[in-house]
Structure 1
Amino acid sequence: MKNAAALSEQLPVTGPVAGGGSSRRARPAEPEPAVSTDLSTRDRVTQLLLERGATTAAQLGALLGLSSAAIRRHLDAMLADGDVVAREQTVRGSRGRGRPAKVFTLTEAARVRCGTHHYDNIATAALRWIARTGGAHAVESFAAEQVSALEERCRAAMEDAGDEPLARAEALAGALTAEGYAANASTIASGGQLCQHHCPVAHVAAEFPQLCEAETAVISRLVGTHVQRLATIAHGDGVCTTHIPAQPRAQSGNTVTTVRTDR
């Protein structure tokens, strides 16, 4: 009873209850449930990393309108959960003072949770069966057949792109993005570069590179020139990168200078 009395003295009381003169103890106020935007923001970070590949915290913050502290809080949580990995940004040429910025990419587990690899197990099993019964050539034929429909759709979307390879690469990037590949094209010193930040068949292609080879052949036919695959998501890279070499320019006297791209 003493303890109860002591507790009663410590608790605050309210004013008179309506309809009576007695007072009652006030219950401790329960905190209002916080309306958090963490989940939606994290989803947006995941989507940006899926579309853009390796990206710095500063770039993500600028795209999302978040402060450096806020974006790092999300990235730290995603690092702890195994959804992203961080590495130092590759800097070409002379580098200023300080350490290079870190770039963040999605882990394979995070890609899977994005729903990017539906039916991988059955697709892989089917290709294994094709390889056992028909050999490597049958797998190559299957891969070529699989990308033929994609090629036709992209060719139709590129109808007004003209003949210049880099212009066609830009049009192809738009067509591939519409197909779910999150692609973009850019001009570099040695020509052009087509990047695909998402691969719907990455898990399967890791075991059967014929899928990547068939897709590379499609890219070459669509841009109208030889291309070289430099990196693929299927082989553990953050992005599928295809190099489009600069076209030889006619010189005086109608001579042509060619550039070797096969070494």
Structure 2
Amino acid sequence: MHVPPLKLSTHIFSCVELESLTLHNCSVYSPPTFCGLPNLLRLDLGKVVFENTSLGEIITRSPSLEILSVSQGEIKLVDIAKLINLKELFLPLHLLDHRAITSSLIVDLGTCLPNLQLLSLDFLDYQFLGDLVGTVRVPSSFPCLESLTLYQIDFSCKTNLMFAFELIGCSPKLQTLWISAKHNDAVPPPAIFLSEINSIQFGLPQLRNVALLSFQGSENEILLIKKLLADSPSLKIIDIYPVSSEVFNGDSGRLMVATKLLKFHRASTNAEVDIYWS
């Protein structure tokens, strides 16, 4: 990744039987005769320059794609929506068009990807323009989603938090949830209106494993845990990893947080909450 990009031969686009393709740190020129990679099932791209075409053209001409991972470049939501066979999607949100993308459009994407089982979104340096409050949600927008990973959720950004709650709530078959929190010390996390949150019913009958990283014990984080415990009858474990051992102000602060979590109603009698203080 620290050397000049490799310029690939155009012959790579003649491999029509190709099923898996990983390209990093390179530039690609597709021939005028390129009609797509009809058998491609997996595509992993990072720091790739398409000289005479777009990433959208590459993926839309690969209709069999089941796994798509993109870490750099530009991509349109409408192009992803055409991949009806997609099962796994890894996507940094800042690669999308900031001016046109709202949180509701991401939720609606699930109705276009009926086979999606694993979704991983990176929120680093991204904030939605649109708010989901007052919108009509499709109850099962992600009907087959089993694993959801949300990187770098800013707990001081209301629109991103509401989106996270909404996305969880419209994934009825979710089994694994992994959230990495980002905290903005300059902006205190706002309290989400309880009426807005209470209108979102998680209803997660299959959720078993939850991991929360960079936890700081804010009211918004506590509220998320409360709803997960209350709406997940199959829950086995919530692993909490504080951002540091100092965020709870010593043993008394730790005891206060632990006591608060113990008082929450649990839909699953087997649910455990493990806090890794160190």
Q: Give TM-score, length-normalised by structure 1.
A: 0.24
Structure in which a larger fraction of residues adopt helix: 1
Which protein has the bigger strand share? 2
Using CA pairs under 8 Å that are at least 6 residues apart, name the structure with larger relative contact order, 1 or 2: 1
TM-score by length of 2: 0.23
* Structure number with bigger Rg: 1
